[in-house]
Amino acid sequence: MAAGSRTARGLRRVPQSGPPRERPGEEGPKKKTRGRRIRQRFQVFSLGQGLDMPLFVFIMVLLAVGLVMLFSASYADSYYRQGDSYYYIKRQGVYALIGVAAMLAISTFDYHHYHKFVLPVAGVTILMLLAVVLFGRVLGIEEIAPSEGVAVRWLNIFGIQFQPSEIAKFAVILIFAHLISLYAGKMHTFRYGVVPFLGVLGLFGLLIFLEHHMSGTLIILLIGGAMMFVGGTRPRWFILGISLLGAALVCYLLFGGSYQIDRVVGWRDPFNAPEGVDTYQTRQSLYAIGSGGFLGLGLGQSRQKYLYLPAPQNDFIFAIICEELGMVGALVIMVLFGVLIWRGMYVSLKAKDRFGMMLGLGITFQVGIQAVLNICVVTNTIPNTGISLPFFSSGGTALLILLGEMGILLNISRSASVEKT
């Protein structure tokens, strides 16, 4: 693998290094590549050079809509709880600006360098996850690892509060992309195609599980599983894994006591939930969704955000979108996510190498899985679990990480053989 010698910035290094080496079968005819690069000569200093414009536009549109909706959804709640209607939007706005800048910067940074970052990223992430478990679970130091109910998800160091599990998602994507590109051709074997991945997933999954962060664990597993599946792990292992997980789930439900059954019943009929199952948030979410009807109450007109729906700026922001913009608006948002995911996948598939492709796909899967799961939770399609909606939910570091990942995706697009207008 000579990935390090290639660059997404392309032409800057062309005069010195000559035509890049190619792996046969991966790229189009040499002549065509040359022709395109000559065109790019005149865009050397442009940040937009080589960027996949549709992808960039979808990201910016989602971010813009997300900010508008965040403001609309949050101002009532933050007025009452924070004493400032602009509390969330100011923070989110600042992070978005930084995030976009970071995204553009990162998009100029050749993704092949990330090969070198695999071990440090993995190490730091594991340390942070361990720190959460250590300070939160073992030592119970609230200043460093504040707890919310049973879960301890946050780490508070150097004045920044963030969820190491968010970083862990990227870490897993990075590690998996690295491993898949490393084990190309051996992915069908158990030794290479299953064991290392299972080891990584097991370690991260366990650490996040110890945080009592179920949704985080689930998302990591899904992302990892999807990447393995695409990367070439044999389907039989998935059948086995899914069967084992299914059996474990059934056992959990059967032996986890009637409370778990009650939770399922409460999910199916949140308005007649069994005693002890709190479906308040779901009910308020459905009130919001139902109030919206087909065309919605209009931007800013939500009633449910007035302290009825808990944390409307966060996991349940989509309910406020449904209430204000109606079914039409909600479908438009879903379509926006759909095209972003599709374009992300498309760009990734056009990446010049396996690493780029898997890295891009991993990032795309992450956005896709989170968006789908969040919307399914809000609409009570699946049971309630804390998953934020990318680009929409409030959360500065999460947005920063997301935009950073978008930067990587854009960088992949620069070198991908895609029609970028």
Partner 1 sequence: METMRKKAIGLTAALVIIGFGAAAMSLFYWQIVRGEDMRTAAMDQSLRSTTLPAMRGSIYDATGTKVLAQSASVWTVVLEPYFIAGDEEARRTIASGLAPILGLNEEELYEKTGKKDSYYEVIKRKIETETRDAVNQFLVDNEIDSGVRLIDDYKRYYPYGRVAANILGFTGLDGNGLEGLELYYDDELSGTPGRMVSARNGWNLDMPFEKEQMVPAENGNDLVLTIDETVQSILKKYLAEGIEKYEVKNGAVAIMMDVKTGGIIGLSVSPDYDPNDPFTVLDEKMLSDIEALPEEEQDEAYSAALNLQWRNKAVADTYIPGSVFKMCVGSMGLEEGLITEDSMWMCTGGVHFEGMKDPIKCWKHGGHGSTTFREGLCNSCNPWFMHIGDLLGAETFSKYREAFGFTEKTGIDLPGESYSIYHSVEGLGPVELACEAFGQNFTITPVQMITASCAIANGGYLVRPHVVDRIVDPEGNIVKTADTSYRRQVISEKTAATITDILQQNSESGTANGGYVMGYRVCGKTGTSEKVDKHNEDRTKPMEYIASYCGFAPAEDPQYALLVFFDEPGGEDVENSSFTGGNKVAGPIFSKIMEEVLPYLGVDAQYTQDEYDQLDLVSPSVVGKTLEEAYKQLGDMGLTCQVIGSDWDTSITVTQQIPESGANVPKGGMVVLYTEGFDEEGTLVEVPDLIDYDLANATYMATIHGLQVSVRGVSEGTVSLQSIDPGQKVKLGTVITLTFAENINTDGHAPELDE
Residue number with CB closer to partner 1 (187 or 400) = 187
For the bound state, the minimum distance from the C-beta of residue 254 to partner 1, rounded and expressed in Å, comes to: 25
Nearer to partner 1, 231 or 396 (CB): 231
Tell me the CA distances in angstroms from 121 to 15, 55, 80, 115, 172, one per residue in order: 33, 26, 40, 10, 9
CB of 71 to partner 1, least distance (A): 15
Question: Which of 264/307 has CB closer to partner 1?
Answer: 307
Q: Least separation, in Å, of the C-beta of 308 and partner 1? A: 4
- The span from the CA of 89 to the CA of 92, in Å, is 5
Nearer Cβ to partner 1, position 25 or 83?
25
Nearest residue to 364 via CA among 342, 386, 331, 394: 342
Q: What is the closest distance, in whole angstroms, from the C-beta atom of residue 350 to partner 1 in the complex?
A: 9
Q: How far is the CB of 358 from partner 1 (least distance, A)?
A: 8
Of 28 and 256, nearer to partner 1 (C-beta) is 28
Closest CA to 63 of 411, 410, 413: 410
Tokens of residue 417, six digits: 């053989």
- The CB-of-297 to partner 1 minimum distance in angstroms stands at 10
Residue 402 and residue 99 in contact, taking contact as beta carbons nearer than 8 Å: yes
Q: Give the nearest distance from C-beta 49 to partner 1 in angstroms.
A: 26
By C-beta, is 23 or 41 nearer to partner 1? 23
| 156 beta partners | 161
Comparison of 265 and 334: residue with beta carbon closer to partner 1: 334
As measured in angstroms, the least distance from the Cβ of 295 to partner 1 is 10
If the CB atoms of residues 214 and 339 are measured against partner 1, the closer one turns out to be: 339
Q: Nearer to partner 1 by C-beta: 133 or 289?
A: 289
* Binding residues for partner 1 (CB under 8 A): 25-26, 76, 79-80, 226, 229-232, 286-294, 303-304, 306-308, 322, 326-327, 330-331, 334, 337-338, 341-342, 345, 348-349, 354, 357, 361, 364-365, 368-369, 371-373, 375-376, 379-381
Shortest reach from residue 361's CB to partner 1, in Å: 5
